[in-house]
Amino acid sequence: MDIYGNERPGDSGRVSAKTPLVSVVIPAHNCERFIGQTIESVLGQSLNDLEVIVVDDGSVDGTGRLALRYGNPVRVVTQDNAGVCVARNRGIGEATGLYIALLDQDDYWFPEKLERQVGLLEREAGFGVACTSFMPWEVDADGVYPAPMSMDRSRFGEGIEQAFSGWIYHQFLLDCWMLTSTAVFRKEAFERCGTFDPSLPYGEDWDLWLRLSREYRFVKLSSASTLYRQHPGQGNRKVRDFDYRADILRRAVKKWGLCSPDGKCVGRRAFYGQLAKYHVDFAFSHARVGDKATALGALLRAGALEPWNMRTLAYIGAVLLGWRPSW
């Protein structure tokens, strides 16, 4: 039985031993320090009808060897280093489960994660994707990550977040609010909408969520299922030569407009205001490293979207004078 008193997914016998209910895909590259704890969080799930596919993306440390030690249901697929998109796509292609859950190499799942989300998708055929909240996982004063079970998740509550459930394409036009490691997908969703775009070194998740949200309803649980490990090597901390976020959003609106399939929309002013903020963020990342030309270009694009915003004009003047933001 599951936490709701229903028969647990996989207990009914309708899924054979050779066909797991859930395939967990973990792309991994030089993550020997964290990969063991990540895998163990999967093996500790209350739903155990699963396979774990670790895609070793050309690691030169002991990542692959460590993953191999776990044996069934963990299997390791090796490839030359090709990036996280190719690694995730390889894992999705190797998956045999009815559902696919993606987990980044250094994140952590609480034990009830899969049972709750898969149980919900099993009961509600109208949803194609189930996700949850997450908690940033930061080191303490001693430089150590707190024990997962010491983290207080009570503030997240329980139940379904209605504002982020249903047809929510329009919500993705404002923010990439779904963390990859929190999501569970029906396998058919990738077959219908495609997988991660390898040409995108950043924002590849957002691009895919936008495509999926045009074809499938999402459901978000309020509870936090995942610890999102924070460290300096994360991709969202890198300075990019191109503003991928803004480009992904512009292309989406050009193709699909500002409304979800059920008619719910984001207002033009809200969308372009958020787009302007992303341009400013991009400008700041370049101003910090002294790339004045790129920073000014991004600020000018932000100003064109919100010509009444005096703060953007002030930033332009400051960057011209050589200012570098410290935050």
Q: Are residues 119 and 51 in the same domain?
A: yes
Domain housing 300 = 244-320
For the stretch 158-210, pLDDT in tens is 999 999 999 999 999 999 999 999 999 999 999 999 999 999 999 999 999 99
Q: Where are the beta strands (DSSP E) in the chain?
A: 22-28, 50-57, 74-79, 99-102, 108-109, 127-137, 184-186, 217-229
Among 9-23, 124-138, 275-289, where is mean pLDDT lowest? 9-23
Give the CATH number of the domain where residue 295 resides.
1.25.40
For the stretch 296-325, pLDDT in tens is 999 999 999 999 999 999 999 999 999 998
Q: Are residues 160 and 260 in the same domain?
A: no
234, 266, 301 — which closes off a domain? 234
For the stretch 30-56, pLDDT in tens is 999 999 999 999 999 999 999 999 999
- For residue 325, being part of any structural domain is answered with no
208, 234, 260 — which closes off a domain? 234
- Nearest Cα to 109, choosing from 55, 40, 194? 40
Total number of domains constituting the chain: 2
Report the percentage of the chain scoring pLDDT > 70: 93
Q: Are residues 137 and 283 in the same domain?
A: no
Q: Give the DSSP H/E element, type plus range, for residue 304.
A: helix 292-305
For the stretch 84-123, pLDDT in tens is 999 999 999 999 999 999 999 999 999 999 999 999 999 9
Q: pTM to 2 decimals?
A: 0.91
Give the CATH number of the domain where residue 199 resides.
3.90.550.10
What pLDDT, on the 0 to 100 scale, is given for residue 14?
37
| CA distance linking residue 261 with residue 193, whole number of Å | 15
What pLDDT, on the 0 to 100 scale, is given for residue 326?
83
- For residue 14, being part of any structural domain is answered with no
Q: Are residues 156 and 178 in the same domain?
A: yes
- For residue 6, being part of any structural domain is answered with no
